[in-house]
A and B are shown apart, each in its own frame.
Chain A
Amino acid sequence: DVKVTQSSRYLVKRTGEKVFLECVQDMDHENMFWYRQDPGLGLRLIYFSYDVKMKEKGDIPEGYSVSREKKERFSLILESASTNQTSMYLCASSLWAGDEQYFGPGTRLTVT
């Protein structure tokens, strides 16, 4: 079975802190994704990566950056966390662009 793991289930950070969210997949998938999920807004794509060191902006990239140095690992970085980045963050991977996406359990980030 595909397994997508995220570094933390719950995270509390202060405004202005730099935050790293890590995602690892174990199925040699080409594509990896970062979403955030907010009540009433559903899942929104922040960034995705289709290959090592490659990245593309999603719908809401502002305030975020990403890093993919190894195929299995995709990191989401909040350079200076703000309270409006309090959300559930979900990582996903897929073998190729049109394939089904496999999701991790999510990280609930609270910025105070």
Chain B
Amino acid sequence: DAKTTQPTSMDCAEGRAANLPCNHSTISGNEYVYWYRQIHSQGPQYIIHGLKNNETNEMASLIITEDRKSSTLILPHATLRDTAVYYCIVRVWDSNYQLIWGAGTKLIIKP
């Protein structure tokens, strides 16, 4: 079973920051938080990952709480092309190939 809980769906206005929450209350000390997204009719796309520090790349920022029980993916200036299903996944860094996929959050960016 997926080790994360995400809202089923969210809306965000174009140009605004989209904040996608994820709960992972049973996360272990050696498990990373990964985010992927899947745009309709495409394969999933990697966004970002982190262990305990906040991370930022050209696509998004990842904020992980100090107790690591939850995290937030931030798309700073959402565009219509960011409409997708966003998956939050926890996994061990180097010992397990497997990603356990939940249902994700359907993010709809509205003009």
Residues of A with Cβ closer than 8 Å to B? 4, 31, 33, 40, 42-45, 48, 50, 56, 58-59, 90-92, 94, 96-98, 100-106
Give the A-B contact count at a CB cut-off of 8 A. Answer: 55
Interface size on B, residues (CB 8 A): 23
Q: Is the interface of A mostly helix, strand, loop or mixed?
A: strand
- A97 in contact with B97 (CB, 8 Å): yes
- B43 in contact with A97 (CB, 8 Å): no
Q: Which of A43, A102, A103, A106 has the most CB of B within 10 A?
A: A43
- A106 in contact with B43 (CB, 8 Å): yes
- B44 in contact with A97 (CB, 8 Å): no
- Per-position 1/0 for B84-110, Cβ under 8 A of A: 000000011111111101111000000
Q: Which of A4, A42, A94, A98 contacts B101 (CB 8 A)?
A: A42
- A50 in contact with B43 (CB, 8 Å): no
- A105 in contact with B43 (CB, 8 Å): yes
Chain B residues contacting A45 (CB-CB under 8 Å) are 98-99
Q: Is the interface of B mostly helix, strand, loop or mixed?
A: loop
The verdict on A100 contacting B43 (CB below 8 Å), with A31-B97, A33-B97, A45-B98 known, is no
Residues of B with Cβ closer than 8 Å to A? 2, 32, 34, 41-46, 49, 91-99, 101-104
Chain A residues contacting B42 (CB-CB under 8 Å) are 105-106
- A100's nearest neighbour on chain B, judged by CB, is B46
- A105's nearest neighbour on chain B, judged by CB, is B43
- B92's nearest neighbour on chain A, judged by CB, is A98
- B101 in contact with A48 (CB, 8 Å): no
- B45's nearest neighbour on chain A, judged by CB, is A103
Q: Which of A91, A98, A103 contacts B93 (CB 8 A)?
A: A98
Distance from B19 Cβ to chain A, minimum over Cβ atoms (Å): 22
Q: A59-B98, A96-B94 are in contact. List 10 more A-B contacts (CB 8 A).
A: A31-B97, A42-B101, A48-B98, A92-B43, A92-B44, A97-B97, A98-B93, A101-B99, A103-B43, A106-B41
